[in-house]
Structure 1
Amino acid sequence: MASTYIRARSIAIIGGGPSGLVAAKYLSAEKAFDKIVVFEQRSSTGGIWNYTPDQTTEEIFTVPQTSPAGSIDKPIWRTPRENESLKTDHDTNRSDTKVPSFISPLYERLETNIPRSLMGFSDLNWPQDSQLFPKHYTALAYIQQYGNDIENLVRLETQVVDVRSATDNSWVVKSVNIRSKTEQEETFDVVIVANGHFIVPYVPEIEGLKAWNEKYPGIVSHSKYFRKPDDFAEKKTIVVGNSASGLDISSQIAPLCVPPLLWSQQSSPHLQPAPDPAKLDLPPIAAFIPESRSVRFENGHVESDIDAIVFCTGYFYSLPFLTSVSPPLIIDGSRVEHTYKHLFYAPNPTLSLLALPQRVIPFPVAEAQSSVLARVYSGRLPLPSKEEMQKWEKDRVAEVGAGRNFHLLPFPKDAEYINELSKWALSAPVKEGLENDGRGKVPPVWGRWEYWCRENFPAIRRAFVAKGDARGSVRALEEVGFDFNEYLREKENDGKARL
């Protein structure tokens, strides 16, 4: 079947977080486009890494939350915090002007759950004085530094409210300047969605939950709105879910809440936490009993007089500005429909979506994805036929199902995905005038060290956390007992012993 070449001139990127900035850098490196615009609704780049300590609720949150139908975010206008670094497209005095703030799922004590040496961008080192697992404000500064050289492409305080296909196969992007309320419609050859998937929380429908929440409003929440463990002091608390946020939030609350913290889990945690006597491991919740403020678990265990419940149950995929696109990208919100390689919208691949995969190392994944997008949209790299792209989705569904597992790429699948895309990008023919001898911007290709670190990072994280308050001074893997060179020597000795 014939391959398809795309030669775009104008590109819209929705979102100025890490993935959007990565896309802008790889596209710029192609030196092939007349217009690249990054639309960012905040007053600064960095996306959800812009911490919002005082925003703990929003209109879209309901209990239960079973619909992916989100809405265009509404800003909260606030006074800039002291020493807050803001970039803006407007000539205003930031000392007396309120700024638009959009809720972020970050919490006060959040550190990355990936060591910085594995997590970072391929062409920017972390500050050498930052801890092994950086704090969220360090990550924000790092991301913003990464985007410094393409900040002229970013249109701040500008929100995309609608994207629709035009008759000539281009895209009409409707945006609103949220400060002036000015609306604008522009046509682009390509649209890249990089708005992330931490927007619409998922709270499962469980017997009695709705009535329970109506009788005891404010008790049920979601990890998106968690900010500090002190809010749970002396409260009998249940944390539902054992993802990275579930593990971290339960560990923060456990020392302060009425002991033990009740930790409801559907399966074994993928980050393999150390045993914690301050937590009582319990199966999923079977029913809420409003009469006694009680909860019954699937094993029959009942706990009464519950003061707080935090659902760490993830998010829906939600694209409220793409509702007119057909066939639809969102049905039940468990995945994005009609994608090829978790990246291209197969019915019309001039629409693409970054950062859909989960259980991955996000920054290098975004680089690998963007390296492909840049070369495809500049015409240096062909796409397979529509039939082949649709077959990929069918094969993926046959392998893992059509639900929440579709975009999951746990190790080593994430490493293989990075290398597959990067090598695909690097297969493009050289072009005179591009960096790296005409190859263009080179994406990451993972080798032995990256595979070793990726496989071991849950154990590395446990060793880091075990340092307690002293972990703030930890800078290197070796300081928590992980030495790659020692690993290589052991493998070599093991190989000799087998000969």
Structure 2
Amino acid sequence: MPKRLAIVGAGPGGLATARVFLANFPGIKINLFESDYSVGGIWHYPEADNDHRVMYDHLETNITKYLMRFSGFPFPDDVPLYPWRQNVYDYLISYYEKFIKPSQNFNVHLNSRVVELTKGDNEWTLVSRNTETNEETTLKFDFIVLANGHFSVPNVPVDKVPGLSEWIDHGAAVHSKVFKNCKFARDKTVVVVGNGSSGQDIVNQLASVAKKVYRSVTDVKSDLIPDDFPTPDVVETVPKIESTDYARRTVKLQDGRILENVDNLIYATGFYYSAPFLQGSIKAQLDRQTDKEQSTRFYNLWKQIIFVKDPTLAFSLLPQSVVPFPLAESQAAIMVKVFSGQLKVPNQSDDELEPEFLATLPNYHNLADLKDLDYYDELQSILDQTGGEKDPFKPVKWTDKDKLNREKCVEDKKKRNIYLSKLSSDSRAQKIPYILKQFDL
């Protein structure tokens, strides 16, 4: 009887996993479950149906198309150096239609939300619910890959900021997940919390129309906007928020200063990890949460891929600060080795095997400071030791040139942000909202 694989999530991780298994695991039957009505994951952002989707109107990647590509599948020549969200979605559709959709061993379930996943009698039972009809379907599988991403459950510190819940109740405080464009902020005062890529981008877009934009960051001295950035003077960097008062429309900062006449708060503070369909001992071993559906990290993993308590369960693209598309294929190639019995996973987790290395990371899943390069090399080394050169499909092997380009990302991103800051300033001078324009280094 052919082996059966279920993949949960049809974004980059799920699609990459399907491609690699179809190529490297002969005869396996794959079922892909996606709650949306199209593959593409968070990159599916239709203009007529984009409420509560993670993307926003004027978004481009912060990784060049030359690094972001899948193995043997470059972006088209006419795509900008930093692809726009629609470019990425079109790219994923092309990838799906070329490598996955034609296979007779593949079946996709769109509009199908996984609601329960349990293990018993050496097989997995997966229950999915059709989002249109509410009809439930139950299927059995030998292997599971969770590629449902980590961009669905917003992390908003309601319990840590007094008064914030009232702002949320009135729609005046939101997570960056619901940000679409800057038009709502014309002549308003907005506080953006968080200084990651999304936070910086949102501040820049708001500055084209807002009366005042405050960047609330952890360390003001280290997060000041560089002098060579042509950022509109309406932007000011301030410390973290201590408390808020919706009735007075004030925000108190940790340095004691009070911001007045604040209209909106936007929290660009990241997301939780979540697999709400897992239950019982598996959920407890994975997220160590008994009363919540989300967690700041997952546990009991090997190489952030395989669940050591049951190596028939794997995860795609849990790490952050990475180049996701080629990584997803490398991780999937490792999964094939494990699921096919070519590679035995240790009983110990990363926390037990690599405590010194993990202590150098901001958190378990965040491979900051270019530590992702070591991770790619490590996965490739494992593949090399388990016959990867003989596999029909081979993931991207990071060359010295690739690594140099990855290291240049920091400087390239600065050049890109200088251009985008100037774009915001120019838009403000012309009294028009921010609109993304093509830019090459």
| TM-score, normalized by the shorter chain, greater than 0.5 | yes
Q: Which residue of 2 aligns with 1:192?
A: 145
Q: Give the deviation of 1:444 after TM superposition.
A: 1.5
Q: 1:218 to 1:180 in 2, by over 3 A?
A: closer
- Choose the corresponding residue for 1:346, options 308, 329, 343: 308
Q: 1:460 to 1:284 in 2, by over 3 A?
A: same
Matched, 1:374 2:336: yes
Q: Which residue of 2 aligns with 1:429?
A: 387
Q: Give the deviation of 1:471 after TM superposition.
A: 8.4
Q: In the alignment, residue 320 of structure 1 is paired with which amino acid?
A: P
- Choose the corresponding residue for 1:443, options 382, 385, 395: 395
Q: 1:279 to 1:271 in 2, by over 3 A?
A: closer
SS of aligned partner of 1:13: strand
Q: Which residue of 2 aligns with 1:164?
A: 118
Please show how residues 313-332 of structure 1 align to structure 2 within 5 Å. Answer: 313-326=269-282, 327-330=284-287, 331=289
- The separation in 1 between residues aligned to 2:28 and 2:273, in whole angstroms, is 31
The answer to whether the Cα contact below 8 Å between 2:56 and 2:180 also exists between their aligned partners in 1 is yes
SS of aligned partner of 2:286: coil
What's the CA shift string for 1:165-220, capped at 9, x where partnerless? 1122x211111233343322111110000010001101113342345427x71110
SS of aligned partner of 2:280: coil
Q: In the alignment, residue 222 of structure 1 is paired with which amino acid?
A: H
- Choose the corresponding residue for 2:81, options 132, 148, 152: 132
Deviates more, 1:408-417 or 1:108-117: 408-417
Q: Which residue of 2 aligns with 1:250?
A: 203
The answer to whether the Cα contact below 8 Å between 1:272 and 1:458 also exists between their aligned partners in 2 is no
What's the CA shift string for 1:44-92, capped at 9, x where partnerless? 11011011556676xxxxxxxxxxxxxxxxxxxxxxxxxxxxxxxxxxx
- The separation in 1 between residues aligned to 2:66 and 2:114, in whole angstroms, is 34
Q: Which residue of 2 aligns with 1:116?
A: 65
Q: Give the deviation of 1:341 after TM superposition.
A: 0.9
- Choose the corresponding residue for 1:406, options 338, 357, 364: 364
- The separation in 2 between residues aligned to 1:25 and 1:416, in whole angstroms, is 24
Matched, 1:286 2:247: no
Q: In the alignment, residue 163 of structure 1 is paired with which amino acid?
A: L
- The separation in 2 between residues aligned to 1:264 and 1:157, in whole angstroms, is 38
The answer to whether the Cα contact below 8 Å between 2:164 and 2:243 also exists between their aligned partners in 1 is no
Matched, 1:151 2:104: no
The answer to whether the Cα contact below 8 Å between 1:206 and 1:288 also exists between their aligned partners in 2 is no
Q: Give the deviation of 1:147 after TM superposition.
A: 1.2
The answer to whether the Cα contact below 8 Å between 1:334 and 1:403 also exists between their aligned partners in 2 is no
Matched, 1:10 2:4: yes
Deviates more, 1:14-23 or 1:32-41: 32-41
The answer to whether the Cα contact below 8 Å between 2:9 and 2:33 also exists between their aligned partners in 1 is yes
The answer to whether the Cα contact below 8 Å between 1:411 and 1:454 also exists between their aligned partners in 2 is no
The answer to whether the Cα contact below 8 Å between 1:26 and 1:441 also exists between their aligned partners in 2 is yes
Q: Give the deviation of 1:30 after TM superposition.
A: 1.5
Q: Which runs of 4+ in 1 moved over 6 A?
A: 54-57, 270-273
Matched, 1:333 2:295: yes
Q: 1:125 to 1:272 in 2, by over 3 A?
A: farther
Q: 1:349 to 1:274 in 2, by over 3 A?
A: farther
What's the CA shift string for 1:114-150, capped at 9, x where partnerless? 1111111121111101111111001000011111131
The answer to whether the Cα contact below 8 Å between 1:358 and 1:408 also exists between their aligned partners in 2 is yes
SS of aligned partner of 1:418: helix
- The separation in 2 between residues aligned to 1:270 and 1:439, in whole angstroms, is 49
Please show how residues 219-298 of structure 1 align to structure 2 within 5 Å. Answer: 219-259=172-212, 261-267=213-219, 268=222, 275=229, 276=231, 277-298=233-254
Identity of aligned residues (%): 28
Q: In the alignment, residue 382 of structure 1 is paired with which amino acid?
A: L
TM-score computed with the length of structure 1 as normaliser: 0.77
- The separation in 1 between residues aligned to 2:353 and 2:381, in whole angstroms, is 22
Q: In the alignment, residue 86 of structure 2 is paired with which amino acid?
A: Y
Aligned residues: 412
Segments of structure 2 that go 5 or more residues without pairing to the other structure are: 424-434
Q: Which residue of 1 aligns with 2:429?
A: none
Q: Which residue of 1 aligns with 2:431?
A: none
- The separation in 2 between residues aligned to 1:125 and 1:146, in whole angstroms, is 10
Q: Which residue of 2 aligns with 1:28?
A: 22
- The separation in 1 between residues aligned to 2:225 and 2:365, in whole angstroms, is 18
Matched, 1:41 2:2: no
Segments of structure 1 that go 5 or more residues without pairing to the other structure are: 1-6, 58-102, 431-435, 481-499
Q: Give the deviation of 1:384 after TM superposition.
A: 3.3
SS of aligned partner of 1:322: coil
Q: Which residue of 2 aligns with 1:383?
A: 344
CA RMSD of aligned residues (A): 2.7
- The separation in 2 between residues aligned to 1:280 and 1:472, in whole angstroms, is 25
TM-score computed with the length of structure 2 as normaliser: 0.86
- The separation in 2 between residues aligned to 1:408 and 1:36, in whole angstroms, is 30
